[in-house]
Amino acid sequence: MGYFKNFILGILTGIVVISIYYLYTLKIDIENLSDELNHLKENRTVFHSPDNKNIGLMITEAVKKVTPSVVGINVMKFKDENIKKKIKDPLGLLTIPPTYKVERKIREVKSNGSGFIISKDGYLITNEHVIHNASEILVTTTEGNKYEATIIGADEKSDIAVLKIGVDNHTFTKFGKSNKLNIGEWVLALGNPYGLFEFNNKPLVTLGIISGLGINFGNSKFNNRFYTDMIQTDASINPGNSGGPLINIFGEVIGLNTMIYSESGGGSVGIGFVTPISKVLRIKDQLIENGYVNRAIDYGFELIDIDKDISKKIGKTSSKGVLVTSVHDHGSAKEAGFVEGDIIVALENYNIENKDDIHTIVKDSKDFIVGDSLRFIVNRDDKIYKINMELLPINRLN
């Protein structure tokens, strides 16, 4: 009997010792992970290796951090359709061969999308196309609460919208720096694909990498949208994910999930495109302040092409570049330091030969709004100067 007691006591002692050792090493692992996360964040080191023992924990922590601020969005919207109907003769019979007429019909349809809360008092961001022509917007949070949302501002050109729900102290997202990203960096897409958020009040999460940066689609020929400087990812983005956040492994939002490439017009094939958070925040600020995005820019100078006669008159041998003939008081050019006689030779890293070049760059290279800057290189008295011109609004002094 004494032998049996000693045997049991030995086993229990062993279990206690092993448990203490396990808890001690687990504490060390957690402390090491915390230190590593802080070190990576401070130095903005990109975490590439999926074999690292901590990558799973880092991803889990990032998801936990962001999940409470992600919302599902259900929308009732009006859809304008053309319906083809067969025409009957006066006796109510169908004609042979059948003839048709097209009738316009507006009907209410249901759709869904995603969003993320950006302030404790309930401002949230989504895509404009998620709520376009909406008659009703219902937002569901991860607590299971449902709110009718108010549209604070919606900008079709950038495809960004700001909504607001009635909360006072809600968890909200933190933002990363989309200009510090690297191809191959781990990212996660959160959202409401196919409306699945409704089943457990939690966003679905997909993992991938950044596949490309600076993807430019320019002005769409099919609508009024302008997609430039997009992030490409292979994290699965499906219908309903639009408006949700793309996050880094630190749990910071780096972009707005916006659209996918799909040959069949259906789900993800691993090619998704995301609006950088830097652009989202620029648009968001104006939508909250004004309810719209101000693109009425006062460039503030007059320009002419340099032909042979102008070139001879100003004493130049080359006709390349554009001549500044006058600078308006209080305009963007005056504030930036332009003077009459400056010759613009480059804009946004593109060589300039005539005014059409400037028009093309401003119109097609980026969706410029009030508050943005244009980078010029000018020739002034045969010396080269760089000028950053902040774009000011028209009639800002009125």
pLDDT digits (tens, 9 = 90+) for 370-391: 999 999 999 998 899 999 999 9
pLDDT at 45: 46
CATH homologous superfamily of domain 63-163? Answer: Trypsin-like serine proteases (2.40.10.10)
Question: pLDDT category, 309, cuts 50, 70, 90?
Answer: confident
Give whichever of 48-62, 79-93, 261-275, 323-337 has the largest mean pLDDT.
Answer: 323-337
37 φ/ψ angles, rounded to the nearest 5 degrees: -60, -45
Between the alpha carbon of residue 300 and those of residues 28, 54, 69, 112, 395, the distances in Å are 62, 55, 43, 44, 11
pLDDT at 35: 56
* CATH of span 176-288: 2.40.10.10
Residue that wins the pLDDT comparison between 318 and 347: 347
Active site members = 129, 159, 242
pLDDT digits (tens, 9 = 90+) for 327-364: 999 899 999 999 999 999 999 888 998 899 988 888 87
* CATH of span 295-391: 2.30.42.10
Query: In the numeric block, which tokens belong to residue 152?
Result: 């604070």
pLDDT at 48 over 70: no
pLDDT at 146: 94
CA distance 328 to 347: 20
61 φ/ψ angles, rounded to the nearest 5 degrees: -65, -40
pLDDT digits (tens, 9 = 90+) for 234-245: 998 888 999 999
Please give the share of the chain, as a percent, with pLDDT higher than 90. 52
| Cβ neighbours of 17 (radius 10 Å) | 10
pLDDT at 28: 44
pTM of the model: 0.76
**Average pLDDT in the 22-35 region?**
50
| Cβ neighbours of 385 (radius 10 Å) | 13
pLDDT digits (tens, 9 = 90+) for 208-234: 999 999 888 877 666 788 898 899 999
pLDDT at 67 over 90: yes
pLDDT at 6 over 60: no
Q: Quick one: CA dihedral 288, 292, 293, 295, positive or negative?
A: negative
